[in-house]
Every structure is written in C-alpha cells, then in structure tokens.
Amino acid sequence: MLQPPDSSKNSQLSSNPNSYTPVKTASSPMEQATIGRSLIIKGEVSGSESLFIDSKIEGTIHITDNRITVGRNGQVKASISAREVVIMGKVHGNVQCTDRLDLRGEGSLTGDVITQRISVEDGAVFKGSIEVRAVDTKNVKTQPQAQGKSPEPAKPSSTEQPKAAAAAAGA
C-alpha cells in the first residue's frame, strides 16, 4: 500500500499533510527535453538541457554541458557533441564527449569517437575509431617543460591521430 511520507521530515515540501508529495532531492532537478517518435528533424539541434531522442534526426547536435540519450527507437545521422552520450538506438556520425560515452547492449554506433571515458556493453555494435583523451590537462602543461628542448613538437602531437601521437611519443 502506498503511504504518504513522514510529514515531520517533509514539512517544508508539503503544506497539506494528508496529500502525497514525491520526495524531492536536495540537488537541482535534472531537466530533460524529449524528441518523440513521430518527429523528424533535419538541421542543427542545440541547447542547454539534457536531451532524450526517440526519433529520427539528421544534421548536428550540440548539447555541450549535458547528456544526450538516444532511445531504443532513435535513429540519428548526425555529429554529436555533448558532455555525456548514452546510445540505445542507432547512431551514424561522429561523437565527441567531454565526459563519457555509454553504448548500451541494444545500441549501435558507426563513426569516430573522442571521449575521456567509454563503456560498451555486450551486444552493442560499434564501427569506427576511438580516441580516449586524458581527464586532466596537467599532463599537457607539464609535457613541454619535461622535454626541455622545445615545446613546439608537443603541440602538433595533441592534434594528430592517436597512432601518430603514439609514434611521436616513442621517437
């Protein structure tokens, strides 16, 4: 049986002790926009809140400070840029995350990935390349000082492909 929360703990949240009020977290609530199944978008999508995509999108998606979730019905043909990306549907395009990429078991991704962390579940399909970047920027700042001779060779290696950067580090 559903019972109302203890009114002594939630007295500031509910003015009527007989009504049921869901418990709210102390942190800011997570705002999330949803693009439903019946919508088709072609062009650029950008914003400042998390986005759940359960439809077809073609173009570019920029949600730099939040999460993009591609639902099971989502079919995205776009380059994606976000803090965090969760893929449960189909994505065809490059993905750039400032935090992490989570490719779920029923998801598929065709494209190149640049991220700090990545998780790929069993059953997920991925075709492309992955570049995992360092979490902190301290290594980039101290690298030229450690070389001592010239900081110029360190700058191009950060923009090169991962294989080229590894070859330059070994030389």
Query: Any idea what the Cα angle at residue 170 is, between residues 164 and 171, rounded to 5°?
Result: 90
Residues 131-150: tens digit of each pLDDT: 999 876 554 444 444 444 44
d(CA 59, CA 45): 8
How far is Cα 56 from Cα 152, in angstroms, rounded to an integer? 44
Q: Which amino acid is at 57?
A: I
Q: Concatenated DSSP letters for 23-50?
A: PPPSSPP--EEEE-TT-EEEEEEE-SSE
Query: What's the mean per-residue pLDDT of the chain?
Result: 77
* pLDDT value of position 82: 96
* Model pLDDT, residue 135: 77
For residue 7, pLDDT over 80 is answered with no
Q: What are the tens digits of pLDDT across the range 107-130? A: 999 999 999 999 999 999 999 999
Checking if the pLDDT of 11 tops 70, the result is no
End-to-end CA distance of the chain: 69
Site of tokens 């640049």: 114
User: What is the rounded CA–CA span in Å between residue 118 and residue 110?
Assistant: 15
Question: How many percent of the chain have pLDDT more than 90?
Answer: 58
Q: What would the pLDDT profile of 19-45 be if each residue is shown by its tens digit?
A: 544 444 444 456 789 999 999 999 999
Residue 54 has a pLDDT of 96
Beta bridge mates, 36:
none
Half-sphere exposure of 95 (CA within 13 A, CB side): 35
**Residue spans per domain, the chain:** 32-132
| The residue count for the chain | 171
Give the model's pLDDT for residue 134. 86
Q: Does residue 10 register a pLDDT over 80?
A: no
